[in-house]
Amino acid sequence: MITFEDVVKVYPGGTTAVDHLNLELPTGKITVLVGPSGCGKTTSLRMINRMVTPTSGRILVDGADVSQQNEARLRRSIGYVIQHAGLFPHRTVLDNVATVPVLLGQTRRAAREAALGLLERVGLSAEFAKRYPAQLSGGQQQRVGVARALAADPPIMLMDEPFSAVDPVVRAQLQAEFLRLQQDLGKTIAMVTHDIDEAIKLGDHVAVFRTGGRLAQFATPRELLAEPADDFVASFVGRDRGLRSLSFDSAAELPVRPVDGIDLDDSGRPLGLPGVFTKDDSLRVVTDLVISSPGGIAVRVGPDGAADGLVSHHDLADYLASRRS
Amino acid sequence: MIQYLTNNHVIVWQALQEHLYLALLPILFGFAIALPLGYLAVRFTWLYHPLINTFGVLYSIPSLALFVFLPVILGTKVLSPVNVVVALTIYTVALLARTVADGLRAVDPVVVQAATAMGYRRTRRLVDVELPIALPVILAGLRVATVSNISLVSVGSLIGIGGLGQLFTRGFQLFYLEPILIGVILSVVLAGIADLIIVLVQRAVTPWTRAA
Ligand SMILES: Nc1ncnc2c1ncn2[C@@H]1O[C@H](COP(=O)(O)OP(=O)(O)OP(=O)(O)O)[C@@H](O)[C@H]1O
Ligand SMILES: [Mg+2]
């Protein structure tokens, strides 16, 4: 757990970057710090590994004040990923990844061997190991950056806009892989982004900052969408938060009508539809299907892929209305 | 010319050795002094401009003047090779301190911060990250310093200090073209070989610069 206790950071020029921040980042979870540019996200993040020194207040990692710990040793126990990866241009991909284990005293050979396994974990084949960073695409560099941060298996990861320098397609891919990786690893992660969609997608918790370095709301993504603390958060979350909040609601309880009037193959699978949903999908998926399918009907399928129910847009509207009351 | 060489190979060979020695010793000393100076100029930003300006002035002193005045300052004999070594060391420091400083300053601050955030302490970060990344710039400076030192040593022989320049003076004194030609050719060849060696070393130690 990472705890901010009444932390203030005023830079020498007089800018208050972080203003009396109290925050708890739970162990093993992803906490996303989000907010407009200049609201103190990076500053907050960098106070955790002592790259920035707070003006007042304390930061604790598992109850221990970071300011009392040896700087270099603290940093080696905290993974750090930044926007453009910040890879060492003079080292091969493999040696970039092996950096922290070597700093910790591992032999280069052992560190490289472990690094090779890590590369695979972040989706890079062994052929990349001998390349230099300049020979990689932005997305590949970012993967190496993540592997490098993971190399010493630190319990904590700090990530400053790790996916914002790549195009939307690659970003979505990296985000999905990141979530899968986190499911295995269960690191305590503090991630900075200015993209609220990314925050909602990746965060177990989201801390919304407002300009001036003040915390506006700390909540789960679902709470954030359903009950923004104030107008600032509501407008930051966006006007379509109602629709987006549906992605946190399961379609399991959604009543369906018997299957009728659609084309099925021999084993009962629907034919010629843009998509179908299951009980595990969210209401957002159902809404999207209802809107995009020609007849305004979403088809539910069972585990075997056979259609087992239909939802019309009237049904969906009634269900949504009934939930609200 | 071949005739001259076979008759005088002992003299020529000795002149060549002296020349090499007088040119390269200052490179060694100069580099050893310039490295910490260049680093300090980057570490303490306020030092950068005073240092760079001082070296700019030093570098602009004509070499002949320096050869003549150094004995006065150092208390050495006018014909002592120490004068040449000290003078060329000054030029080397003046040139390389600036290259080292500029090379280190050109290292992407994002990379330096990433290194710090990963737990590098200052000294190891300098050795493992900053200097290697600055190396192409530093080696380029080293090439210039080496080639210019090799040609400056010849100036020393105008006042009677050893090296290939001796062959020039000899030729002028005897109204004889051969030694002059040999002196010129050898010093050009020497500069070329030294330059080539540095280029090869550079290719070997900075393979990443050719990666992009
Ligand atoms: N080293 C510094 N010296 C002085 N002021 C600084 C320094 N670093 C940041 N600031 C100021 O502190 C405030 C917060 O900066 P910070 O980098 O934490 O913002 P951010 O939320 O990460 O913004 P962005 O989304 O643009 O990255 C800004 O007003 C910034 O100008
Ligand atoms: Mg930032």
Q: Which residues pair with A188 in a beta bridge?
A: A156
Does residue B160 carry a pLDDT above 80? no
* A51/B117 touch (CB, cutoff 8 Å), yes or no: yes
Domain containing residue B148: 2-207
Is B75 part of a structural domain of the chain? yes
CA A36 – ligand 2 centroid, Å: 10
Q: Which residues pair with A282 in a beta bridge?
A: A250
- pLDDT of B37 reads 94
Q: Domain check: are A238 and A271 in the same one?
A: no
- Partner B contacted by A66 (CB < 8 A): no
Q: Domain check: are A201 and A295 in the same one?
A: no
Is B212 part of a structural domain of the chain? no
Does residue A245 carry a pLDDT above 90? no
Question: From the list B119, B132, B135, which residue is nearest A76 (CB)?
Answer: B119
Residues of A in contact with B202 (CB under 8 A): none
Both tokens of residue B120? 């590098």
**Domain boundary pick from A209, A230, A246:** A246
Exposed / middle / buried, residue A35 (Cβ in 10 Å: 0-12, 13-18, 19+)? buried
Does residue A70 carry a pLDDT above 90? yes
Report whether B182 contacts B12 (CB < 8 A). Answer: yes
Q: Domain check: are A314 and A235 in the same one?
A: no
Q: Domain check: are A100 and A205 in the same one?
A: yes
Q: The whole model's pTM is what? A: 0.85
Q: Domain check: are A224 and A120 in the same one?
A: yes
Q: Domain check: are A239 and A299 in the same one?
A: no
| Average pLDDT of span B191-195 | 93
Q: Domain check: are A215 and A253 in the same one?
A: no
- DSSP states of B132-184: HHHHHHHHHHHHHHHHHHHHHHHHHGGGT--STHHHHHHHHHHT-HHHHHHHH
Q: The domain that contains A259 carries what CATH number?
A: 3.10.580.10
pLDDT in tens, B11-36: 888 888 988 998 999 999 999 999 99
* B208/A73 touch (CB, cutoff 8 Å), yes or no: no
Residues of A in contact with B132 (CB under 8 A): 90
Domain containing residue A208: 2-246
CA A45 – ligand 1 centroid, Å: 11
* A88/B129 touch (CB, cutoff 8 Å), yes or no: yes
Is B48 part of a structural domain of the chain? yes
Mean pLDDT score of chain B, rounded to an integer?
Answer: 90
CB of A43 shorter than 6 A to ligand 1:
yes
Q: Domain check: are A109 and A241 in the same one?
A: yes
**Domain boundary pick from A246, A280, A295:** A246
- Residue ranges of A 184-213 with Cβ closer than 8 A to chain B: none
CA-based nearest distance B112→chain A, Å? 8
Q: Compute φ and ψ for A213, nearest 5 degrees.
A: 75, 30
Q: Domain check: are A116 and A87 in the same one?
A: yes
Does residue A167 carry a pLDDT above 80? yes
Mean pLDDT score of chain A, rounded to an integer?
Answer: 92
Report whether A150 contacts A79 (CB < 8 A). Answer: yes
pLDDT in tens, B140-159: 999 999 999 998 888 877 77
Count of domains for chain A: 2
* A76/B121 touch (CB, cutoff 8 Å), yes or no: no
Is B39 part of a structural domain of the chain? yes
Count of domains for chain B: 1
Does residue A325 carry a pLDDT above 70? no
Q: The domain that contains A187 carries what CATH number?
A: 3.40.50.300
CA A51 – ligand 2 centroid, Å: 13
pLDDT in tens, A178-208: 999 999 999 999 999 999 989 999 999 999 9
Residues of A in contact with B129 (CB under 8 A): 88, 90
**Domain boundary pick from A210, A227, A246:** A246
Q: Domain check: are A234 and A253 in the same one?
A: no
Question: From the list B117, B133, B211, which residue is nearest A80 (CB)?
Answer: B117
- Report the C-alpha gap between B15 and A127 in whole angstroms: 53
- Report the C-alpha gap between B103 and B35 in whole angstroms: 11
| Average pLDDT of span A306-321 | 90
* A134/B121 touch (CB, cutoff 8 Å), yes or no: no
Is B90 part of a structural domain of the chain? yes
CA-based nearest distance A87→chain B, Å? 6
CA-based nearest distance A82→chain B, Å? 8
Q: Domain check: are A111 and A258 in the same one?
A: no
